[in-house]
């Protein structure tokens, strides 16, 4: 949505579109997504399931399922290099080395038949061409860094021997093993209990500071966003509807969807047993999307047909606060 103002951004995603070929036709998962992540910054992507958060992460990592996933337009500049143009070999050097990824479900992200030490060591073997023994020692060191007690014995264990929180620590150790410049965390705490979630978020914050990495945090939990992110993008049905600094977004939401999302969460200081503000209906199916305002059917507000059929521009309402300029849904 912006022309690159400064050259200093670590990651610049511009006009990214992703479509999937399905039996029923083409489904557009992302439509013209723009955002930037600065050095040392944490950017949050928030939205409901099916809005395209994970697809965004997978396209940055070039891990979209083939051959159904296609990227017809857009570019992803990482330190000035377009990741979409890299050869598969070059991309493999970036993955895990310069960009690390933390997945949602640690049990699925780990190999059940390999020792934890070997799994983390793999990263060093691949990217640093280390000896096996050195890689093992580095893994133990990494396990210690993510707060796993008695790392030397733990490294010998298999994923099923660890608790959920421990497994997520192992996944984090793996993602951060090569001190990546960018960490993509896709719902890193969704599968965990609140108490463990607090541990993991504190750990991520601490590691981010010591490694000076940038983080792209994907979540559906606005509470997690409020506590960890500098800037937030709110996604809906494949588009970013609003982008602002965390403070600004929570204090001053300008899009109807953001407002609906913020008011639909039950709050600890709210009046109990009162009716919650609910967004009616549900996220539209990807194959029936229109180019214009996608929140129109759920907003309960009348939209003239030109707002549905034409792609809407973005407008900067106040400095660094961007909103999809639907005159009905956003007060721009």
Partner 1 sequence: MSEEENILSIENLRVYFPVRGGVFRRSKGFCKAVDGVSLILKDGQTLGLVGESGCGKSTLAKTVVGLIKPTSGSVKFKGNEVLRSGRSMPKSYRREVQMVFQDPAESLNSRHTVGAIVREPLEIHGMGNRDQQNERVIHLLEQVGLPASCSTRYPFEFSGGQRQRIGIARSLALNPDMLLLDEPVSALDVSVQSQVLNLLMELQNKLGLSYMFIAHDLAVVKHVSDMIAVMYLGKIVEIASAEELYSNPLHNYTKALISSIPLPDPTQSTSKVIIPGDVPSPINPPPGCAFGHRVSSPRYPESIGEILEMKEIEKNHWVLACPCCVSG
Binding stretches for partner 1 (CB under 8 A): 48-49, 163-166, 193-199, 201-202, 220-227, 246-247, 250-251, 260-262, 264-268, 270, 272-273, 275-280, 282-283
Nearer to partner 1, 226 or 308 (CB): 226
The residue among 32 and 260 lying less far from partner 1, judged by its C-beta, is 260
What are the C-alpha distances in Å from 168 to residues 7, 104, 192? 34, 9, 9
User: Does the N-terminal peptide bond of residue 255 adopt cis geometry, omega within 30 degrees of 0?
Assistant: no
* Nearest distance, CB of residue 22 and partner 1, angstroms: 16
Q: Choose between 98 and 231: whose C-beta lies nearer to partner 1.
A: 231
Q: Among residues 265 and 301, whose Cβ is nearest to partner 1?
A: 265
User: Minimum distance between the CB of residue 158 and partner 1, rounded to whole angstroms?
Assistant: 17
d(CA 279, CA 274): 16
Which of 94, 173 has the CB closer to partner 1?
A: 173
In the bound complex, what is the minimum distance in angstroms from residue 150's beta carbon to partner 1? 13
In whole angstroms, give the CA distance from residue 330 to residue 85: 36
How is residue 261 written in tokens?
């999302």
Nearest approach, Cβ of 51 to partner 1 (angstroms)?
9
Tell the smallest beta-carbon distance from residue 142 to partner 1 (Å): 19
* DSSP secondary structure string for all residues of 51-95: SSHHHHHHHHTT---TTTEE--S-EEEETTEEGGGS-HHHHHHHB
Distance of CA 64 to the CA centre of its chain: 14
Q: Would you say 141 or 221 has its CB closer to partner 1?
A: 221
CA–chain centroid gap for 276, Å, is 27
Minimal distance, residue 252 CB to partner 1, in Å: 12
Question: Which of 223, 250, 215, 237 has its CA nearest to residue 285?
Answer: 237
């Amino acid at each position: 949505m912006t022309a690159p103002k400064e050259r200093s951004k670590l990651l610049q995603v511009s006009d990214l579109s992703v479509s999937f070929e399905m039996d029923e036709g083409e489904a557009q998962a992302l439509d013209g997504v723009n955002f930037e992540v600065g050095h040392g910054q944490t950017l949050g992507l928030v939205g409901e399931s099916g809005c395209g958060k994970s697809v965004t992460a997978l396209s940055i990592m070039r891990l979209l399922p083939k051959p159904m996933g296609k990227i017809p337009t857009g570019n992803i500049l990482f330190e000035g290099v377009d990741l979409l143009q890299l050869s598969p070999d070059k991309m493999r050097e970036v993955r895990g080395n310069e960009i690390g990824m933390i997945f949602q479900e640690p049990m699925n992200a780990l190999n059940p038949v390999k020792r934890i030490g070997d799994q983390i060591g793999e990263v060093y073997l691949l990217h640093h061409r280390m000896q096996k023994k050195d890689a093992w020692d580095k893994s133990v060191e990494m396990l210690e860094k993510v707060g796993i007690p008695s790392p030397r014995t733990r490294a010998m264990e298999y994923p099923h021997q660890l608790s959920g929180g421990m497994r997520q620590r192992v996944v984090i150790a793996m993602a951060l093993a090569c001190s990546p410049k960018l960490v993509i965390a896709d719902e890193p705490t969704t599968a965990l209990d609140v108490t463990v979630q607090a541990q993991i978020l504190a750990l991520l914050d601490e590691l981010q500071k010591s490694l000076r990495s940038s983080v792209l945090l994907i979540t559906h939990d606005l509470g997690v966003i409020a506590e960890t992110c500098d800037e937030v993008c709110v996604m809906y049905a494949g588009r970013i509807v609003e982008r602002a600094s965390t403070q600004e977004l929570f204090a001053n939401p300008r899009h109807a969807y953001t407002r609906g999302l913020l008011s639909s969460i039950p709050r600890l200081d709210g009046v109990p047993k009162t009716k919650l503000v609910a967004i009616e209906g549900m996220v539209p199916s990807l194959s029936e999307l229109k180019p214009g305002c996608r929140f129109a059917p759920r907003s309960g507000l009348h939209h003239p047909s030109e707002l549905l059929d034409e792609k809407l521009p973005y407008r900067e309402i106040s400095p660094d606060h961007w909103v999809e300029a639907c005159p009905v849904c956003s007060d721009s």
